[in-house]
Amino acid sequence: MKKSLLVGMLVFSLAALLVVGGTMAWFTDNATVTNLFTAGTVEIEVNEHDFENITDWNPGDTTDKDVSVKSNGSKQTYVRVMLTPVWYDGENKADDVDAENVELILAEGWEDNWVESDGWYYYKDILNQGEETELLLDKVYLIGEDTGNEYQGLILRIEVEADAVQASNGAFKDAWGLDELPDGVEEWDDGEEASAEV
């Protein structure tokens, strides 16, 4: 009995050593990697080319008002612009007059660079960081025969609304609610951004 107990203890001890030794004998390794995905940026600015506010503006006057848009973000972007003349009485819109007496004179040859659709002007080319559109607006003309005394003392504001959206992945569809871009606007090429942003 002692012998079998001794043999049992010896077998148990050897098994325990094998288990401990076995767990220590495996090859092991551990590695951790942190991947960074920095989101790109879409950022634009409206360039008014040193425009200064005009005072004592007269019916019949034509005034320079250059407008273009510059892309400052890292993403390639589509750009569109809406130009709206609005008369103000101080800080409030002058609801009793309209802007039918204002003519916005677009830049010469604007059709070579812009496409008009539903009141928006879409720049034909995709902009890279640091690039700027060609001029869209060039001058503003106050039509003399359409401007009566009711406009005296009012302030005309040319509201320039510029939108930009990343050119990739059809983002314009959601951002601008379009099924497709107007004819003449550059189509996105999947390989284009990778080569342009290296």
| Mean of per-residue pLDDT scores for the chain | 87
| pLDDT higher than 90, residue 101 | yes
The answer to whether 140 touches 60, Cβ cutoff 8 Å, is no
* Assigned token pair, 33: 């990697």
Q: What percent of the chain has pLDDT over 70?
A: 83
The partner residues of 157 in beta bridges, in order of sequence, read 86
Mean pLDDT of 86-101: 93
Answering whether pTM is above 0.85, one says no
Q: What is the sign, positive or negative, of the torsion defined by CA atoms of 151, 160, 52, 107?
A: negative
**pLDDT tens-digit map of 3-32:** 665 556 665 665 665 555 555 668 778 888
pLDDT for 115: 98
User: In whole angstroms, what is the distance from residue 138 CA to residue 104 CA?
Assistant: 8
pLDDT for 198: 39
The answer to whether 40 touches 72, Cβ cutoff 8 Å, is no
pLDDT for 95: 87
Strands 62-71 and 155-166: unpaired
